[in-house]
């Protein structure tokens, strides 16, 4: 591991005793990095979760780290804090091994299965939205988390949204996610990490029991597809690998999408003109089924989605571990250096975006195309070998949800104060974002 001595030549803000910059990161990660970049330039070091990490700012640095032409940066080493709970997942594998596993997983994202996910997603979400109360205030963020978890039971596991196992599975899943970035990493009694590890054992056992039947009978849900997944050479996963991949995939899919939908609802209620434009394009679909053609026509929704991800990317910093010595920006770094790629900072950089703090989805329109200023100007889904494999799945889910919601309701905010966002570990609005649904 690189340490203060081997990184002595890298500037950076002075760390607090014991906790370094961890608390600053938890309180306001953008302020920590924004201030450090202003003072020290695009390359500096901070100490987070007990480790010195070198931040390389800028879109070129993103391309260098994530594009990783020379297999220099380990994702497993970067995300080591997730290993105890999500070990064996795609993001916790590297290089040749990662490529082999990703090829197998790709077959669970083939077009015909994606169509089946889309249809079962629409059925589940429609029924869940119907259950939401009209003209009554409720907090959107917890509601969408619960709804997408219930939908996940159907789309990911092939369970009915009312299956009696769903609440227990969801509880365990939430304990696992809460533990992933707990500050205390030893599984001492009463710690989040200990609860998370127990949850992982329970979930793994539940998934494992489903495998023999799903291998035999298949199904249109994600889990069944993973049980049947093969690459072009016919390689399949062992039971253990299926459990590990599925466990990780649920985590990767869930909070990211719930946070993004919440930011979109914030945008639609803060800028009702944009909601009007979304309603108009949903109305233009009539009662048509939400197939690919219908979802492709939701161009305004797509821009609001992209702009929401720009302002609140669920993964604003991407950690890697250098497996060999390397040089960047005129500095040398030893093998073992923890490196942070900074898509979140690039997404609000004036180098790529006009008035970056302003909510302006038209910046993605073909005549402005600010996202095209650099291959990595808009990279909320990462890039290179580990680029989000669920990008299309997430886009589909967001569009299906918005179309179903706006067919029935307009959304209003139940209070008018400014909304404060917590960015890490996964973004959420403090106060939950109280809203009201007004039947149309
Ligand atoms: C708005 C929603 C989402 C965002 C912003 C997002 C973002 C990301 C990012 C930034 C990465 C790359 C991390 C890295 O390079 O270290 C990633 C990887 C991944 N995502 Fe997503 N994600 C989203 C939704 C989903 C969904 C819905 C799924 C599954 C259905 C999913 C599955 C995965 C998996 C399996 C990986 C690991 C890929 C690999 O290592 O090869 N994500 N995601």
Q: Cα 332–335–339 angle (5° rounding)?
A: 75
pLDDT band, residue 181 (cuts 50/70/90): low
Q: Provide the whole-model pTM.
A: 0.96
Whether pLDDT at 43 is above 90:
yes
- H/E element, 34: helix 22-40
Q: 414 near 136, Cβ under 8 Å?
A: no
Tokens representing residue 296 in the block: 């492709």
Q: Could you give the CA distance from residue 221 to residue 98 in angstroms, rounded to a whole number?
A: 23
- % of the chain with per-residue pLDDT over 70: 99
Using CB atoms within 10 Å of the CB of residue 367, give its burial: 0 to 12 exposed, 13 to 18 middle, 19+ buried.
exposed
Tokens representing residue 401 in the block: 């949800």
Mean of pLDDT values over 397-423? 95
Q: Could you give the CA distance from residue 275 to residue 58 in angstroms, rounded to a whole number?
A: 33
Strand partners for 340? 55, 319
Whether pLDDT at 3 is above 80:
no
Does a structural domain hold residue 208? no
Whether 312 is in the pocket of ligand 1, judged by its Cβ within 6 Å, is no
Listed range (298-302, 421-425, 429-433) with the worst mean pLDDT? 421-425
Index of the ligand 1 atom closest to the CA of residue 387:
12
pLDDT band, residue 167 (cuts 50/70/90): confident
Q: Could you give the CA distance from residue 437 to residue 440 in angstroms, rounded to a whole number?
A: 9
Domain that holds residue 6: 1-86+316-379
Mean of pLDDT values over 338-342? 98
What are residue 145's phi and psi, to 5 degrees? -65, -45
- Residue 252 Cα to ligand 1 midpoint, Å, equals 5
For a mutational test of ligand 1's pocket, the pick from 89, 229, 390, 427, i.e. the residue with the most ligand atoms closer than 8 A to its C-beta, is 390
Does a structural domain hold residue 65? yes
Strand partners for 411? 437
Task: Name the nearest CA neighbour of 75 among 331, 375, 383.
Answer: 383
Does a structural domain hold residue 270? no
- H/E element, 421: strand 421-422
- In this structure, the residue with its CA closest to atom 39 of ligand 1 is 386
- Number of structural domains (the chain) is 1
What are residue 351's phi and psi, to 5 degrees? -65, -25
Q: What is the CATH number of the domain that holds 371?
A: 3.30.43.20
Does a structural domain hold residue 107? no
Where do the DSSP E strands lie in 78-185? 138-139
**pLDDT tens, position by position, 357-394:** 999 999 999 999 999 999 999 999 999 999 999 999 99
Index of the ligand 1 atom closest to the CA of residue 259:
1
**pLDDT tens, position by position, 17-40:** 989 999 999 899 999 999 999 999
DSSP output for 196-219: HHHHHHHHHHHHHHHHHHHHHH--
Does a structural domain hold residue 116? no
Does a structural domain hold residue 55? yes
């Amino acid at each position: 591991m690189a340490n203060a001595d081997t990184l002595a030549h890298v500037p950076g803000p002075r760390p607090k005793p014991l906790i370094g910059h961890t608390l600053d990161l938890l309180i306001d990660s953008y302020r920590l990095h924004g201030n450090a970049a202003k003072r020290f330039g695009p390359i500096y070091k901070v100490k987070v979760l007990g480790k010195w990490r070198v931040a390389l700012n800028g879109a070129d640095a993103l391309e260098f780290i994530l594009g990783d032409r020379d297999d220099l940066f380990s994702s497993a080493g970067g995300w080591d804090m997730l290993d105890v709970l999500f070990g064996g997942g795609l993001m916790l594998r590297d290089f040749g091994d990662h490529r082999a596993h990703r090829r197998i997983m790709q077959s669970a994202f083939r077009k015909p299965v994606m169509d089946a996910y889309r249809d079962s997603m629409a059925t589940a979400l429609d029924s869940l939205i119907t259950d939401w109360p009209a003209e009554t205030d409720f907090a959107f963020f917890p509601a969408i988390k619960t709804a997408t978890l219930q939908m996940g039971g159907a789309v990911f596991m092939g369970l009915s949204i009312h299956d009696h196992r769903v609440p227990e599975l969801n509880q365990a899943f939430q304990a696992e996610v809460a533990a992933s970035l707990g500050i205390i990493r030893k599984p001492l009694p009463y710690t989040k990490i200990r609860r998370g590890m127990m949850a992982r054992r329970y979930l793994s056992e539940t998934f494992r029991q489903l495998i023999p039947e799903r291998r035999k009978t298949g199904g249109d849900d994600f889990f069944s597809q993973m049980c049947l997944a093969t690459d072009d050479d016919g390689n399949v996963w062992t039971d253990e690998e299926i459990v590990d991949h599925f466990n990780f995939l649920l985590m990767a899919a869930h909070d990211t999408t719930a946070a993004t939908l919440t930011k979109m609802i914030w945008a639609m209620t803060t800028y009702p003109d944009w909601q009007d434009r979304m309603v108009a394009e949903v109305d233009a679909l009539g009662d048509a089924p939400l197939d690919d053609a219908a979802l492709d026509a939701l161009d305004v929704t797509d821009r609001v989605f992209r702009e929401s991800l720009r302002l609140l990317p669920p993964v604003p910093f991407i950690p890697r571990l250098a497996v060999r010595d390397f040089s960047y920006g005129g500095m040398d770094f030893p093998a073992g250096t923890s490196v942070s790629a900074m898509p979140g900072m690039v997404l609000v950089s004036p180098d790529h975006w006009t008035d970056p703090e302003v909510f302006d989805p038209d910046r993605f329109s073909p005549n402005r195309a600010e996202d095209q200023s650099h291959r990595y100007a808009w990279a909320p889904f990462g890039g290179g070998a580990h680029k989000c494999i669920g990008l299309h799945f997430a886009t589909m889910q967001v569009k299906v949800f918005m179309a179903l919601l706006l067919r029935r309701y307009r959304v209003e905010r139940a209070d008018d104060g400014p909304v404060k966002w917590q960015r890490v570990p996964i973004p959420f609005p403090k106060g939950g974002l109280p809203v009201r649904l007004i039947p149309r």
